Amino acid sequence: MDSRIFKERSSVNDTRDRFLAAIKPLDRTENITICEGVGRVLATGILAPRNVPHYRRSAMDGYAVRSADIMGASPTNPVILQIGDGIDEGTCCPVGTGAYVPDDADAVLMTEDTICIGDMIEVRAQVHPGKNIGDIGEDVRKNEIIFNRGHLLRPCDVAVLASLGIREVKVYSRAVVAVIPTGNDLIPLDSSSEVPPPGKTLDINSLMIGLYVRQWGAQPRCCPIVPEDRELIKKAISENMDADFIVISGGTSVGEKDYVPDVLASMGEKLVHGVGLSPGKPTALGVIGEIPVLCMPGYPAAGLVALFAFGKPAIRKKGNIPQIPDITVKARLTGKINSREGYVSYARVILEGNTARPLMTAGAGILSSIAKSNGFVIIPENVEGYEEGNEVDVVLIE
Amino acid sequence: MDSRIFKERSSVNDTRDRFLAAIKPLDRTENITICEGVGRVLATGILAPRNVPHYRRSAMDGYAVRSADIMGASPTNPVILQIGDGIDEGTCCPVGTGAYVPDDADAVLMTEDTICIGDMIEVRAQVHPGKNIGDIGEDVRKNEIIFNRGHLLRPCDVAVLASLGIREVKVYSRAVVAVIPTGNDLIPLDSSSEVPPPGKTLDINSLMIGLYVRQWGAQPRCCPIVPEDRELIKKAISENMDADFIVISGGTSVGEKDYVPDVLASMGEKLVHGVGLSPGKPTALGVIGEIPVLCMPGYPAAGLVALFAFGKPAIRKKGNIPQIPDITVKARLTGKINSREGYVSYARVILEGNTARPLMTAGAGILSSIAKSNGFVIIPENVEGYEEGNEVDVVLIE
């Protein structure tokens, strides 16, 4: 037994930078159909296998014409054309937006510039050759690079791939994230929905971490609860050396049985233990071989903050998924927020219209603070807090 | 055949407001397990079925003590306590964060305020009664409202529900969104990956709309392609009167065969046809009974803009899903963006670091503009455009 305290305390930004720098994105790939593609990341660049359009295409609803036939046409000097199925001198052919423009036409006249009279039109404007016609390959040229390696596929991209006749793509595999809960007081969630015995806590962190991992594009692997025992923790980590990332929940504090950071140091490299993050100070981070390991506090609110601050960017980097900014909204504080000197503080707030009401989170009010808040105000280390009435950025809790 | 033009042109904000006002959120519900709950919306409020904590819980790693035993303790005047399994005069009991605090203890002393000597500790600080103890129900009181009806479940909320022993929740059903593609030039995507014949276009819009609908929390129902025929369009709509929302792609322009808005007007109420939106002007919106109907242009880029501007908020409202702000980033334009007078313009840009490069989208360059851009700069009606060097908000294309 010892009475260690956190002698060092790393800054949040340094910690994140060091952790991310130690992470090598995975290079495992798989082929998937484009319909499964949303949220996946291309493992190869994509060249257009054909021209788009692959025919001369009308850019307007109107009439395909020979521009020479209507040269000089105007409202006061209209030209009459016959509507037909093909194009010949003095004839025209109705075309919708996107439709095939017959070979002998060299322009499309907008419907708005015509008056239709039976099977004839009165043309009230002239057009230049090429007007309102999309040439073959105008949009996408065959062999042009459409997407680069590393591109995160959106629904609109899937549609683009489909239009090029591409039905399968090679993407990076989802990072497998092993989630290891530790703690002698934990009992598995699925054991029962009854009230746990006094001193026993349901392991809700594994569920929460797993759901976020999935939301961030990776594949969670939820492992059994590990008692607070050095060898058993070591064994649990060893059994997951085939994973791409390990998150250990609990056992990071300076209590007598908090072996996790020591085990991490003995098996690989402990980069940081003790971060200027509030809540979330007892976070530890490191790597074992090529596997990043995030040891987060077992306290749900602290664990959640550590997961957002370090887990999200790290899991995304491991999985080759581009970082996306958080959703933030501006709001005016309806009360003061204090922060802890030397710490980046994640203050929980309730957004109500364009105001943010700080949640009083005295004591262990952690569960309810998560449930009731919808955003964080992130207070930098060098700021003492914010006053009532201050305009702040609120990061929505996803 | 006629030569209608858009005599009216509704503003984007008015159109959105009128469309949203006409939408009644669905009240169909279903029971799901909490593990399927992320992204779903509670159809009932949730009361806490029990206290959290349900036992007196330590807020720190340390020792449960009787505060009277260590009154006056300090570094210069330490008190020695015996470590035991229970609490008695002069004894203490090690507790981790979250652990059960024995009934006879009235405070928890932080590890940092002690020095451990074999089976004794030297206590170097006093504590007040109640210090570092979370009382029963301190976090969540039994029968307290935890979530209101209409709450969108996040992973952290699922964890909160789990901790309360709740394993199933009643949520609103996902809105069923029928997606009806129209157009004589369309051929189904699944027909082949070969180049379509000249004048024929693969129906990529259904796929794209379906994927966005899913992303916005609803359930797409992709319908067969409908030729440009008044009766067939009517029939396709009639066959989907059991859906919660209808999106019709194509057939909204003023070309001769664009029957969709007329059919909408004949079957229900056409609210708007012709919007000051660029691209996306030929959008029509209305309701048939309680079913909102969005008729969007068949041109993919225009359709996409109409879908973002009107479909997203409307589909979310129908499905009881709270509106969430778009992800926006500030960037400096590397070139001028022009807008169309009287129109809200969605200019596509490529974000590169903190600059935004406008995409030149001359001609029908629509597919490539979607693939290559990652954001929209939305230019209000009363703004002529933005100059090179202007700082603008870029909405990320999801």
Q: What is the pLDDT at residue A318?
A: 98
Q: What is the pLDDT at residue B188?
A: 93
What DSSP assignment string belongs to A174-185? PPEEEEEEB-TT
Asked if A7 reaches chain B (Cβ–Cβ under 8 Å), the answer is no
Mean pLDDT of chain B: 91
User: Could you say which of A139, A193, A299 has the minimum Cβ distance to residue B365?
Assistant: A139
Residue A3 Cα, gap to closest chain B Cα (Å): 6
Helix (H, G, I), strand (E, B) or coil at B212: helix
**Under an 8 A CB cutoff, do B327 and A324 touch?**
yes
- For B37-55, what is each residue's pLDDT tens digit? 999 999 999 999 998 888 8
Choose from A100, A104, A160, A372 for mutation: most chain B CBs within 10 A.
Answer: A160
**Under an 8 A CB cutoff, do B55 and A208 touch?**
no
Q: What is the pLDDT at residue A239?
A: 98
Asked if A97 reaches chain B (Cβ–Cβ under 8 Å), the answer is yes
User: Could you say which of B53, B112, B324 has the minimum Cβ distance to residue A327?
Assistant: B324
Choose from B92, B139, B369 for mutation: most chain A CBs within 10 A.
Answer: B139
Question: What architecture is the A12-27+174-318 domain classified under in CATH?
Answer: 3-Layer(aba) Sandwich (3.40)
Domain segments of chain B as ranges: 12-27+174-318, 29-50+147-172, 57-134, 328-396
> H or E segment at B235?
helix B230-238
Rg of the Cα atoms in chain A: 31
Per CATH, the number for A29-52+138-172 is 3.90.105.10
Q: At how many degrees (to 10) do helices A205-215 and B155-163 cross?
A: 160
Per CATH, the number for A328-396 is 2.40.340.10
CB count within 10 Å of CB A76 equals 6
Same CATH fold assignment for domains B12-27+174-318 and B328-396: no
**Under an 8 A CB cutoff, do B254 and A370 touch?**
no
Asked if A103 reaches chain B (Cβ–Cβ under 8 Å), the answer is no
Residue B363 pLDDT > 80? no
Closest-approach residue (CA) in chain B for A4: B112
Which mean pLDDT values do the consecutive 10-residue runs of chain A (398 residues) have? 56 97 98 97 96 86 93 94 90 86 94 92 94 88 94 95 94 98 88 75 93 98 94 97 97 67 95 93 95 92 94 98 92 92 92 91 62 92 93 95
Distance CA A349, CA A360 (A): 9
Asked if B256 reaches chain A (Cβ–Cβ under 8 Å), the answer is yes
CATH superfamily for domain A57-134:
Molybdopterin biosynthesis moea protein, domain 3. (2.170.190.11)
Residue B5 pLDDT > 60? no
Q: What is the pLDDT at residue B180?
A: 98
Distance CA A345, CA A385 (A): 9
Q: What is the pLDDT at residue A369?
A: 82
Residue B31 Cα, gap to closest chain A Cα (Å): 17
Residue B3 banded pLDDT, cuts 50, 70, 90: very low
Mean pLDDT of B258-279: 93
Asked if B341 reaches chain A (Cβ–Cβ under 8 Å), the answer is no
**Under an 8 A CB cutoff, do B156 and A396 touch?**
no
Residue A215 Cα, gap to closest chain B Cα (Å): 9
User: Could you say which of B193, B211, B299 has the minimum Cβ distance to residue A165?
Assistant: B193
- For B287-301, what is each residue's pLDDT tens digit? 999 999 999 988 888
How much is the ipTM here?
A: 0.89
Helix (H, G, I), strand (E, B) or coil at B20: helix
Helical H segments across A65-216, by residue range: 155-163, 205-215
Question: What architecture is the B29-50+147-172 domain classified under in CATH?
Answer: Alpha-Beta Complex (3.90)
**Under an 8 A CB cutoff, do A211 and B256 touch?**
no
Mean pLDDT of B209-226: 97
Residue B304 with chain A: CB contacts under 8 Å: 156
